[in-house]
């Protein structure tokens, strides 16, 4: 089985009362095998369809530049490359820190009239981690890293860096995750 440890970054605005649809701007993912070994990484930016200009808040939070977004592929182009990289013909499980990533993929696929069946194989490592550690409620990735005595590496709120950090938590708890094909 391939475990696709992933993290998304999406358009965002400081004023949360602003009713704008978030769109994925970065997919960061690590492909791991049953032994917890990484075989490859995927990192691509996506140019949003509805709001292609990033807010200053989004640029500051993610460190993703407008130039990187302007030069990025469309959602349809990038998602096809991502699905090819996953290799949907082999057993796989999408693993993210919470359910946000799956929901955002669903919203973006619907926006672009794309199939969402490939998202069915998904697990929230955040919620399973809370069960594994007998926590009263799920904690953030940073808290889990501290609990595991692991260091946050890279830039927080960058998809590929967060995926790498989630992968470290995944490896530290290998064999404890409840993941069914």
CATH of the domain at 105: 3.30.420.10
> Which residue range forms the structural domain that includes residue 153?
2-172
pLDDT number for residue 142: 96
Residue 168 lies inside a defined structural domain of this protein: yes
Residue 180 has a pLDDT of: 73
Q: How many domains does the chain have?
A: 1
Residue whose structure tokens are 């090819």: 84
Say if residues 62 and 157 touch (Cβ distance below 8 Å).
yes
- Helix, strand, coil distribution of the chain in percent, nearest 5: 40, 20, 45
Tokens describing residue 138: 């799920």
pTM of model > 0.85:
yes
Specify if 178 maps to a domain. no
* 177 found inside a domain: no
Domain-located, residue 124: yes
Residue 181: per-residue pLDDT: 61
> Could you tell me which of 95, 154, 172, 80 has the C-alpha nearest to residue 126?
95
Q: According to the model, what pLDDT value does residue 17 have?
A: 79
pLDDT averaged over consecutive 10-residue blocks of the chain (181 residues)?
Answer: 97 87 97 95 97 96 98 98 97 97 98 97 97 97 97 96 98 91 61
């Amino acid at each position: 089985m391939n475990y696709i440890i992933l993290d998304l970054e999406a358009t965002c605005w400081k004023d949360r009362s602003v009713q704008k649809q978030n769109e994925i701007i970065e997919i960061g993912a690590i492909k791991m095998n049953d032994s917890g070994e990484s075989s490859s990484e995927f990192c691509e930016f996506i140019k949003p369809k509805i709001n292609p200009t990033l807010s200053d808040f989004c640029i500051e939070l993610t460190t993703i530049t407008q130039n990187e977004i302007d030069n990025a592929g469309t959602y349809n182009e990038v998602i096809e490359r991502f699905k090819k990289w996953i290799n949907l013909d082999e057993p796989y499980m999408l693993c993210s820190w919470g359910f946000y990533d799956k929901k955002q993929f669903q919203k973006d696929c619907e926006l672009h009239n794309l199939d969402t069946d490939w998202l069915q194989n998904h697990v929230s490592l955040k919620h399973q981690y809370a069960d594994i550690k007998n926590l009263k409620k799920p904690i953030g990735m940073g808290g889990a890293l501290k609990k595991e005595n692991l260091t946050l590496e890279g830039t927080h709120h960058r998809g590929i860096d967060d995926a790498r950090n989630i992968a470290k938590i995944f490896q530290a708890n290998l064999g404890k995750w409840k993941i069914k094909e």
